Amino acid sequence: MTDDINPLHFDTLAIRTGHQRTAEGEHGEPIFPTSSFVFKSAAEAAARFSGEQPGNIYARFTNPTVRNFEQRLAALEGGESCVATASGMAAILSVCLGLLKAGDHIVSSRSIFGTTTILFERYLGKFGVETSFVDLTDVRAWEQALKPNTRLLFLETPSNPLTEVADIKALADLAHAHDCLLVVDNCFCTPALQKPLQFGADIIIHSATKYLDGQGRIIGGAVVGDKEKVGTDIHGVIRTAGPSMSPFNAWVALKGLETLSLRMNAHSRNAAELASFLNAHPQVEQVYYPGLESHPQYDLAKVQQSASGGIVSFQIKGDKEQAWKLIDETRLLSITANLGDTKTTITHPATTTHGRLSEEHRSAVGITDNLIRIAVGLEDIEDIKKDLARGLDS
Ligand SMILES: *Cc1c(COP(=O)(O)O)cnc(C)c1O
């Protein structure tokens, strides 16, 4: 369901897509907690198994609630096909298993989710898939890292935690000129603020754990793209290897999608206000937020994103000790590494989300010991500012 052929707008698609009402006439989307599906006859069972007749067989393959979530997210990203997964990491792994083979090469942004780096280096490396890491914003470095066996370019934009913004169109063009695919992890913006497929990306990754659910209740993930790669190759991995999304988690995430653009715009408003507050504070060395005019990719972010998102990072004057002290002095903010929740969270990336990376990797991506990341929630922003001001002013 793309925007070209479907006249409905984003918020309507977010609320209406994918529910096939049952004979009960329910208004709300049902959950189908069933592991298998029954057939009217042996012949129908055979036809389903052979693929001659479409339909449900077993919930590792398909489930109506999961499909409801998949169709809704595909509509929002403007993609042909979506498959849901048990987690965001399962989404990334399934893309790699579905599209790569031993001997292939990935070029990835160095500034990605820490666990994704480990998946690429430690685990895919074991199976003969090699990854080169480059600076997200340096298109020439991406080009120089390409090899004859490069198949995927992988990035997040804005990046975590420093909110650098990639030029999606330039990197999609580069990928296509070299017969590669561009994979974008769209976790930070969600389709409410950014639709990478419109800029030429081929595959979208989501951690539904974050803003798609938006209330910190589930672990889930998804992949969006075309029918052949996502609907066939990547779905094939999920139905065979089994990192499928549970119907309950799919239901939570699909109800989350209904308020996605309301929430993303509210997160962005709060984050923009917090970023200016921190930017003006004498104890703050530097603030990283794409909505600040001082951000190096401020203009690019304006083109690609309809708002700046909910993640603000900053370096305080001092070192790890001062950073930890500021975190410990908050009373309202939650000290947790999760993001994309209604509750504001505060993290010290160098010793948590990015703690398993080598020191060189960390310093190459600029994750210093005085860096703090805030995933701004939906509380009243005055209370968030006050909670941080106590530590900053003392
Ligand atoms: C959290 C996260 C992931 C991994 O998702 P899980 O649901 O935790 O497996 C991947 N990419 C980004 C950008 C994330 O923030």
The best mutation among 164, 206, 209, 356 to test binding of ligand 1, ranked by most ligand atoms within 8 Å of the C-beta, falls on: 209
Contact (CB, 8 A) for 99 and 234? yes
- With residue 268 as reference, give the H or E element that holds it: helix 260-279
Between residues 362 and 259, which one has the greater pLDDT?
259
pLDDT of residue 4: 59
Per residue in 199-253, pLDDT tens?
999 999 999 999 999 999 999 999 999 999 999 999 999 999 999 999 999 999 9
Give yes or no for residue 213 CB within 6 A of ligand 1: no
* Ligand 1 neighbourhood includes 88 CB (under 6 angstroms): yes
Give yes or no for residue 111 CB within 6 A of ligand 1: no
Query: Tens of pLDDT along 317-363?
Result: 999 999 999 999 999 999 999 999 999 999 999 999 888 888 888 88
Q: Which atom of ligand 1 is nearest to the CA of 338?
A: 1
Decide if pLDDT at 3 tops 60. Answer: no
Radius of gyration of the chain (CA): 21
Domains annotated on the chain, with CATH: 3-257 (3.40.640.10), 260-393 (3.90.1150.10)
Q: In whole angstroms, what is the distance from residue 125 CA to residue 106 CA?
A: 10
Per-residue pLDDT at 364: 84
Above 50 in pLDDT, residue 102? yes
Q: What is the pTM of this model?
A: 0.95
CA of 206 to the centre of ligand 1 (A): 7
311 φ, ψ to 5°? -105, 125
Among protein residues, the one with the nearest Cα to ligand 1's atom 12 is 113
Number of helices (H), then strands (E), belonging to the chain: the values are 16, 12
CB 316 within 8 A of CB 369: no
State whether the beta carbon of 209 lies less than 6 angstroms from ligand 1.
yes
Question: How many angstroms from the chain centroid is the CA of residue 99?
Answer: 19
Mean pLDDT (the chain) is 96
Distance between Cα 45 and ligand 1 center (Å): 38
Report the alpha-carbon distance of residue 158 to residue 163 in Å, rounded: 5
Mean pLDDT of 69-83: 98
Q: Is the CB of 373 under 6 A from ligand 1?
A: no
pLDDT of 142 above 80: yes
DSSP per-residue string spanning 354-384: TTTS-HHHHHHTT--TTEEEEE--SS-HHHH
- Output the CA 113–ligand 1 centroid distance in Å: 7
What is the CA(111)–ligand 1 centre distance, in A?
A: 13
Q: Is the pLDDT of residue 46 over 50?
A: yes
Q: Are strands 334-335 and 311-316 parallel, antiparallel or unpaired?
A: unpaired
Q: Report the atom number in ligand 1 closest to the C-alpha of 112.
A: 13
Angstrom distances, CA of residue 94 to CA of 57, 127, 221: 21, 14, 11
Q: Is any ligand 1 atom within 6 A of the Cβ of residue 85?
A: no
Ligand 1 centroid – CA 86 distance (Å): 11
CA atoms of 190 and 216, how far apart (whole Å): 16
Q: Is 187 in the pocket of ligand 1 (CB under 6 A)?
A: yes
Q: How far apart are CA 291 and CA 304, in angstroms?
A: 12
Q: Is 152 in the pocket of ligand 1 (CB under 6 A)?
A: no
Cα 57 to ligand 1 centroid, rounded to whole Å: 29
Helix ranges (DSSP H) in 178-213: 190-193
Question: Residue 94: CA atoms inside 13 Å, Cβ hemisphere, count?
Answer: 36
Q: Is the pLDDT of residue 6 over 60?
A: no
Pocket flag, ligand 1, residue 219 (CB < 6 Å): yes
Q: Which among 7, 8, 17, 67 is positioned nearest to 257, based on CA atoms? A: 17
Amino acid letter, 355: G
Residue 194 above 70 pLDDT?
yes
Q: How far is the CA of 89 from the centre of ligand 1 (A)?
A: 6
Best residue among 159, 210, 212 to mutate for probing ligand 1's pocket (most ligand atoms within 8 Å of CB) is 210
Residue 1's pLDDT is 46
113 lines ligand 1 (CB under 6 A): yes
Whether 349 is in the pocket of ligand 1, judged by its Cβ within 6 Å, is: no
Query: What confidence score (pLDDT) does residue 359 get?
Result: 86
Neighbours of 321 (CB within 10 A): 10
Distance 92 CA to ligand 1 centre (A): 9
Q: What is the pLDDT of residue 130?
A: 98
Comparing CA positions, the residue from 166, 215, 170 lying closest to residue 186 is 166
Per-residue pLDDT for 68 more than 80?
yes
Q: Coil, helix or strand for 178? A: coil
Task: Kindly report, residue by residue over 269-304, the tens digit of the pLDDT.
Answer: 999 999 999 999 999 999 999 999 999 999 999 999
Q: What percent of the chain has pLDDT over 90?
A: 93
Residue 210 to residue 139: CA distance in whole angstroms:
28
Give per-residue pLDDT as tens, 303-328.
999 999 999 999 999 999 999 999 99
